[in-house]
Structure formats: structure tokens, C-alpha cells
């Protein structure tokens, strides 16, 4: 069971997946329950390091309390399960008091798996087939997680080889395994893992040489093998440099600007390379998150909900970062200094206990080597976590918990760590009651773990129905999900989105209140999520008419708030600018649309919408300047020529406007719309009869077209034909009741016959 937990790391499908975390948590819970029942049967439990556990409990307490003030309680619940599970496994392994042989067998299982993964990863580089191009990642989701596993395995493997039996076959086999893992680590392309591994190895050499005389003797006795290892490491490095594709030389050959390419033809050149420079940019954004809540944080596992507001979109315009790529900064951002300090004290206490145990007389040579290897692997992982997200991956967390439990057990056996013992009657009613309590608690915890996953499946069913164009079925699924798990903002927002899609299809007015209620509840549950703000603005825009006009200012605020919360995901400057223009806020739309043009977002459409916004604000000359780079005479650009005609008419350049409109008319498209614009232009020149002919042509193409009906009314009125004007205006009002001014004009025309 413990071996199965250790091998789960590569199957992690990514962050915040209920299915995976539920499976891992249930397996971890089963392990804890089995050990707990075993301990109850024995009648005694020993927990080494009584004081250091105060730091662990303080960290866990802050994690639990962060659920009360988190920006998203559902995400905080996920984080609470993750770190509660990790500490539960660590304590269970401490209480189990496994013998040395059990730990050795467990490491052999891990070594067999890492060896197979290393072979697979190297084959990916040379034969292709990996999802990350030239970077080795085996079956892991990302190369960095694969590299972190190798950082954990390499030091114990190297020391086991050094202190193993003198059989030449075993020595050659062990040397081959070390070189295989080294090559896989190099080809993973993770500089952070490389730095962490080297740091852990240096720490190992310093500590063992300083504190354990037996290690110095072992080194002297194996000088030849160590020299061979050094030569072979250099040879493997040289072979990799000569044989791998040039794009694979991520560490040794350098990584260029893979993340920071400029966006669009007009975007400024960004000559910032990837690697650690990209990390510095991400850490700067993480610091901005920390500054908002340095003491309490935003809530465990909520970083990615807050980070987009502070993401540097100039360098990461299309990136989605779930992590700060520095676990310690991310912990500070999520649980504040109040939770990060106990965590650092706990990790430091584990390493200090292991350091004090190195060279202690209570441990044999093999145990000393295993202790040194576990310490080096743990140090390497923690160093790597300074530039990555190892302490967010369930499988790696469980591996670290196993390493920590092993180090603490050896430290207790060496006599350098205090041990707290508790004893009770292992038979009779008290023992049976204890077993019943443990079983009942396990069942309750299992139900609590399974419940969110079951509800997430219902939510996924709703998403599938929504994608299939069945908003009514989707809304039913989302309603059930929100009733079963009311703290998940995503389910509530999904319900609002499904109801909005249903309203768009049916136009049922009763849905408006339901949509608004759901989306505002989503805002309350997760105020840092951009989706409810965006969808609520879309609701008001879809509803249109007087509702949109009455809420014009609110629509603008909703759109801009969505943009502020997540400027780099799906809310491009063009999208928000276009929506602001649709809401009747051209002044506020112009700045965003100019940004969209500068960044090359939707190059043609962004210029068209920006030019329209300039026209609505009485700046037709600026609109023409925006269109100039893409404008060409002729019918092959009907949208550009149509908008050019409108702007030219605003400037009083009627003949040029007519030429532009006739170009648009020559292209396939909505003839009635263009003819109405030609009619309006002719009307502006006083050519009333010609204008009337154009309006008639528009009505012939679309008899219910309101702008053409209005044009017929105005031309009839200009020619003194008031009854005809009144009839045309009445038809227009029938088609579009929002034309309120006609309600007063029509009776006046009819009364003056």
C-alpha cells in the first residue's frame, strides 16, 4: 500500500483535480487506518521529536483556519485535504516503527520504477513521442516533476552503490543505474532540479565527511570506483552534448526566449530569455500578491485565483500559471507569515534531526548511508522547490513524507531525538472501543473525501450538456451540484452561464432574475474570479434595450473589473473594449482597443471596432487614421469600406463617403444595411428623391428593416407627405418599440393632416 502511494506521482493529471486527489487521499487514509489499528493492537505508540510536531500542528491549524477567510473556500478545502493527508501519512509512518528491511524494500520498489521511467524518458529524447518535445518527462505530466523524483532517488542510490557489497557485478550494475538516472535528470531540462540535486549532493558530502569518520574510510577504500564514476559522469555529459538534438540542450546549451516572445507585429520586442529570468518575473508578481495579505494570506491553494490580477501580461500574454514557481513564496502568499514560519520550522527541525543523527553511534554503516541519502534527497527537493512547485504535487509530497519519517525514525534510534510514548490496554472493552472509533472516523473521513468528487462528476455532466447545446439539462445538473456542495463558486457560476445560454435561446424573462442571482452569489463566494463579472455584463448586454442603457455604468464597471482580475486569460483587451462599445461606453472602450491594436489582438477587427468607437465619440479623423494601414479602394474589403464611408460622412466629405459605400455595396453581404447608409448620405446632401430610392431598395431586400422604414419616414416628411411619413414611422415603431420618440411624433403628424 505504501509502495502504491509512492508510485502515484507520475499519474497526477495536473493541479486541483478532484479525481486524483480523492484517489490518493483514500489510499493514504487506508494506510493510516491500517497502521492505526495495528498500533491499537500493540497497545503502545512512540512518536519521536515531540517538540518539532508543534510546528507541524501550528502549520496545519493555520491551513484549516484559512478556510474561514479564503478568497475561494472550495480551493482551500482542496489544500486542506492535500496537506492534512501528507501530515497524516508522515505521522502514521512514524507510529508504524517499520524495521530497516521494510524501508529497504520500499526503496527498491521506488528504484525499480525510477529506472523504468529514466529509460522511457531518455528514449523520448532520442526517439520522439514526448509531449514536451526534446525534454524527457516519461509518463509524468511535466518534466519538472520527473526531475524532482530523480533528485530524490539519486543520492540514496549513489550511497547504496558506494557502500554495497564488493561484488564486481553489483558494482558495475550500480554504476550503470547511477549514470542512467544522471542522464535522465540532465535530459529533463530542469535547471532547478539540477541545482537542487547538486546542492543536495554537496550537502551530503560535507555532512558525511564532517560528522562520520566511517564515510572518510569508505571513500578511501573506494577511490578507484569514485574516480571511475567521475570520469563516466563527464563522459556521459560529453556524449549527450554530441548526440542529442540542438534544441534539447536545455541546461548545457542554454534556453532562449521560449516564454517571452512579443505578441503581434506592433508589440515591442521583449529580449528577455526564459529560465531563471522568467522565474524572477513570476516571483515579482508573487510578491505583489504577498504584499496584499502578508500575515494571513489569501487562503491555502488559492494562489492561482489571485495571481492573474498581478501577472505580467507583457511577458506572459497567453500563459496560465497555477503556481508561483517558488513554493515558499506561494505558501507566504496563501497562508501568510503566520503559516509559513511554522512550516519552515518544521522542515528545518527534520533536517536538523537528521544532521545530528549522522555519525551517531547508535546507527550501523548501512543505516548511516541510507540516512545520508535520504537527507541529501530531501535537501535537493527543498532546494528545487525554491524554483518550482514540488510541494504542490501530491505524489512528491507523499515521497517527502516517507523520507522525513525515515529520517526521524533513524534520528530517534540514534538517540538524538526525544521520543514520546503512550501506552494503553491492548485487550478488552477499551481496545474494542478504540477499534470502533478508528473505523467510524475512517468511514466519515472517506465519505467527506468522496463527496466533493461525486459532486464534481455532476458538474462535469452539466458542462458536457452545455457543450452539446442543451442548456436546460446543463442547468439541472448545475442546480444539483450547487445544492450538494454550495461553497464551490465554479458550480454556481456554471449555473449562471447555463441559465444565460437558456435565456439567449428562449428569451424567457423569468430566467433573468435567476441568472443575476447565481452570478452575484458566485461573486460573493469567489470575489477574485473574473467569470461571474464577465457573464453578468453579458447578461445585461444580451438583455439590451432600456435595461442595458439603465445599467450602462454598471456594465462598464463589471467589464473592467473582469479585465483587472484576469487580464491574460480569455479577456483580451479587444474583447473587453468591444463589449464596452456594445454597452454604449465608447470613451472607455478606446483605451483598451488601442492596446489591442498595439498588441496585435485580432488585427483587422480591433482596428474596425476602434475606428467605430472614435466615430461614436465625434473623432472621425482619428478613426480614419486607424483604418488607413488596412484600407484599400475596391469591393474586397466591404467592412472597412462601409466604416470608412460612415467616418467620411461625419467629416462632411459626402462624395468620398458615397464612393466607399458603393464599394461595400458591390461585395456580397447585407445589401439593405449599405443602401440605408447611402440613403442617409444622399439625404445629408439634400438629394431627397435619390435617398428615397435607396431606402425603397433596402425595404425590397428586407421589408421589416427599421432603419429603412425610418429613412422612408424622413424622406416623406422632407417632401411634405405627412401621412406617408406617419405610416412609415408607425411600422418602424411596431417592429422596434424601443424607438420611443416616435410615440410623440406619430400623433403630431396624424393631427396635422
Q: Residues 461-517: pLDDT tens digits?
A: 999 999 999 999 999 999 999 999 998 889 999 999 999 999 888 878 788 889 999
pLDDT tens by residue, 657-688: 999 988 888 877 678 888 999 999 998 889 99
CA 287 to the chain's CA centroid: 18
- C-alpha to C-alpha distance for 271 and 314, rounded to whole angstroms: 12
| Full residue range of the structural domain in which residue 216 is found | 2-43+55-90+107-245+280-417
Residues 412 and 503 occupy one common structural domain: no
- Is residue 217 situated within a structural domain? yes
- Residues 147, 202, single domain; the answer is yes
61 and 159 part of one domain: yes
Considering the domain boundaries, does residue 635 fall inside one?
no
Domains contained in the chain, number: 4
- CA distances 118 to 242, 391, 628, Å, are 20, 22, 57
The distance in angstroms from the start CA to the end CA of the chain is 95
All three cell numbers of 188, joined, read: 529533463
| 512 and 538 assigned to the same domain | no
DSSP 602: S
Stated as kind and residue range, the H or E segment containing 314 is none
Q: Residue 368 has which C-alpha cell?
A: 548511516
Kindly state whether residues 190 and 295 are assigned to the same domain.
yes
* Burial class of residue 100 (count of CB atoms within 10 Å of its CB; 0-12, 13-18, 19+): middle
Show the low-confidence residues of the chain (pLDDT under 70): 1-16, 245-275, 316-320, 423-431, 543-550, 568-571, 633-636, 669, 752-753
Residue 400 and residue 468 in one domain: no
Nearest to 305 by CA among 517, 76, 520, 14: 76
375 shares its domain with 240? yes
Residue 1 is predicted with a pLDDT of: 55
Kindly state whether residues 201 and 86 are assigned to the same domain.
yes
Cell numbers 448620405 correspond to: 681
Residues sharing a CB contact under 8 Å with residue 321, sequence separation 6 or more, in sequence order: 282, 304, 307, 311
According to the model, what pLDDT value does residue 258 have? Answer: 38
Domain boundary pick from 521, 554, 579: 521
End position of a domain, from candidates 581, 605, 630: 630
Whole-Å CA distances, 646 to 48, 556, 608, 642, 674: 81, 25, 12, 7, 10
Q: Distance of CA 524 to CAs 48, 492, 518, 527, 537, Å? A: 44, 10, 10, 6, 16
Question: Within this chain, do residues 234 and 128 fall inside the same structural domain, yes or no?
Answer: yes
- Assess whether 15 and 145 both reside in one domain: yes
| Residue 610 and residue 547 in one domain | yes
Cα gap 10→140, rounded to integer Å: 4
CB 607 within 8 A of CB 599: no
Q: How many CB atoms lie within 10 A of CB 650?
A: 19
User: For the domain that residue 498 is a member of, what is the CATH number?
Assistant: 1.25.40.10
Say which residue the cell 410615440 belongs to: 743
CA dihedral of residues 364, 365, 370, 376 (deg, nearest 10): 120
Whether residues 591 and 511 share a domain: the answer is no
Q: What is the pTM of this model?
A: 0.78
Amino acid at each position: 500500500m505504501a509502495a502504491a502511494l509512492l508510485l502515484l506521482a507520475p499519474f497526477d493529471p495536473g493541479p486541483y483535480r478532484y479525481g486524483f486527489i480523492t484517489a490518493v487521499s483514500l489510499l493514504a487514509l487506508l494506510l493510516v487506518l491500517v497502521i492505526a489499528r495495528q498500533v491499537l493492537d500493540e497497545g503502545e505508540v512512540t512518536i519521536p521529536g515531540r517538540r518539532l510536531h508543534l510546528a507541524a500542528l501550528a502549520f496545519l491549524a493555520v491551513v484549516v483556519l484559512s478556510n474561514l477567510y479564503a478568497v475561494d473556500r472550495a480551493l482551500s478545502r482542496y489544500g486542506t485535504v492535500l496537506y492534512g493527508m501528507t501530515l497524516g501519512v508522515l505521522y502514521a509512518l512514524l507510529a508504524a516503527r517499520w524495521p530497516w528491511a521494510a524501508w529497504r524494500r520500499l526503496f527498491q520498489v521506488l528504484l525499480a520504477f525510477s529506472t523504468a521511467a529514466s529509460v522511457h524518458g531518455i528514449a523520448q529524447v532520442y526517439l520522439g513521442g514526448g509531449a514536451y518535445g526534446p525534454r524527457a518527462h516519461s509518463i509524468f505530466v511535466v518534466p519538472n516533476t520527473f526531475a524532482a523524483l530523480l533528485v530524490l532517488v539519486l543520492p540514496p542510490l549513489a550511497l547504496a552503490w558506494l557502500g554495497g557489497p564488493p561484488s564486481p557485478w553489483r558494482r558495475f550494475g550500480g554504476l550503470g543505474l547511477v549514470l542512467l538516472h544522471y542522464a535522465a535528470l540532465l535530459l529533463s531540462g530542469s535547471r532547478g532540479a539540477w541545482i537542487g540535486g547538486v546542492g543536495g549532493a554537496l550537502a551530503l558530502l560535507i555532512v558525511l565527511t564532517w560528522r562520520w569518520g566511517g564515510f572518510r574510510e569508505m571513500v578511501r577504500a573506494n577511490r578507484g570506483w569514485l574516480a571511475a564514476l567521475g570520469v563516466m559522469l563527464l563522459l556521459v555529459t560529453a556524449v549527450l552534448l554530441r548526440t542529442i538534438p540542438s534544441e534539447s540542450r536545455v541546461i548545457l546549451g542554454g534556453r532562449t526566449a521560449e516564454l517571452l516572445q512579443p505578441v503581434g507585429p506592433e508589440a515591442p520586442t521583449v529580449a528577455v530569455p526564459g529560465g531563471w529570468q522568467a522565474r524572477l518575473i513570476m516571483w515579482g508578481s508573487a510578491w505583489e500578491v504577498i504584499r496584499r495579505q502578508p500575515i494571513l494570506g489569501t487562503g491555502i491553494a488559492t494562489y492561482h485565483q489571485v495571481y492573474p490580477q498581478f501577472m505580467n501580461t507583457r511577458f506572459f500574454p497567453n500563459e496560465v500559471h497555477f503556481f508561483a514557481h517558488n513554493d515558499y513564496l506561494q505558501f507566504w502568499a496563501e497562508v501568510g507569515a503566520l503559516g509559513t514560519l511554522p512550516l519552515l520550522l518544521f522542515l528545518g527541525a527534520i533536517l536538523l534531526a537528521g544532521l545530528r543523527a549522522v555519525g551517531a553511534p547508535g546507527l550501523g554503516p548501512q543505516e548511516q548511508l541510507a540516512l545520508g541519502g535520504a537527507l541529501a534527497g530531501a535537501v535537493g527537493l527543498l532546494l528545487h522547490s525554491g524554483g518550482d512547485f514540488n510541494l504542490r504535487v501530491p505524489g512528491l509530497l507523499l515521497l517527502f513524507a516517507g523520507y522525513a519519517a525515515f529520517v526521524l525514525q533513524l534520528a530517534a534510534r540514534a538517540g538524538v531525538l526525544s521520543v514520546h510514548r503512550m501506552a494503553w490496554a491492548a485487550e478488552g472493552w477499551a481496545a474494542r472501543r478504540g477499534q470502533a472509533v478508528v473505523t467510524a472516523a475512517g468511514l466519515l473521513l472517506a465519505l467527506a473525501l468522496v463527496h466533493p468528487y461525486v459532486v464534481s462528476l455532476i458538474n462535469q455532466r452539466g458542462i458536457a450538456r452545455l457543450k452539446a447545446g442543451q442548456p436546460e439539462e446543463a442547468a439541472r445538473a448545475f442546480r444539483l451540484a450547487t445544492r450538494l456542495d454550495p461553497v464551490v463558486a465554479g458550480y454556481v457560476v456554471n449555473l449562471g452561464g447555463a441559465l444565460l445560454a437558456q435565456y439567449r435561446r428562449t428569451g424567457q424573462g423569468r430566467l433573468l432574475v435567476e441568472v443575476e442571482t447565481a452570478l452575484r452569489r458566485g461573486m460573493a463566494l469567489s470575489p477574485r474570479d473574473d467569470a461571474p463579472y464577465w457573464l453578468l455584463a453579458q447578461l445585461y448586454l444580451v438583455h439590451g434595450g432600456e435595461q442595458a442603457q439603465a445599467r450602462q455604468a454598471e456594465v462598464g464597471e463589471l467589464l473592467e473589473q473582469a479585465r483587472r482580475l484576469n487580464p491574460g486569460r480569455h479577456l483580451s483587451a479587444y474583447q473587453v473594449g468591444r463589449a464596452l462599445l456594445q454597452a454604449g461606453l465608447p470613451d472607455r472602450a478606446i483605451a483598451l482597443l488601442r492596446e489591442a491594436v498595439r498588441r496585435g489582438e485580432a488585427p483587422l477587427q480591433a482596428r474596425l471596432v476602434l475606428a467605430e468607437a472614435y466615430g461614436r465619440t465625434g473623432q472621425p479623423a482619428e478613426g480614419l487614421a486607424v483604418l488607413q494601414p488596412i484600407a484599400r479602394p475596391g469591393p474586397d474589403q466591404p467592412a472597412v469600406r462601409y466604416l470608412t464611408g460612415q467616418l467620411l460622412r461625419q467629416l462632411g466629405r459626402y462624395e468620398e463617403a458615397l464612393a466607399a459605400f458603393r464599394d461595400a455595396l458591390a461585395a456580397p453581404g447585407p445589401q439593405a444595411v449599405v443602401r440605408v447608409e447611402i440613403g442617409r448620405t444622399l439625404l445629408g446632401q439634400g438629394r431627397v428623391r435619390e435617398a428615397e430610392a435607396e431606402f425603397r431598395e433596402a425595404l425590397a431586400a428586407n421589408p421589416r428593416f427599421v432603419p429603412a422604414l425610418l429613412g422612408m419616414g424622413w424622406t416623406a416628411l422632407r417632401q411634405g407627405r405627412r401621412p406617408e411619413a406617419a405610416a412609415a414611422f408607425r411600422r418602424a415603431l411596431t417592429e422596434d418599440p424601443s424607438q420611443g420618440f416616435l410615440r410623440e411624433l406619430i400623433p403630431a403628424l396624424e393631427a396635422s393632416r
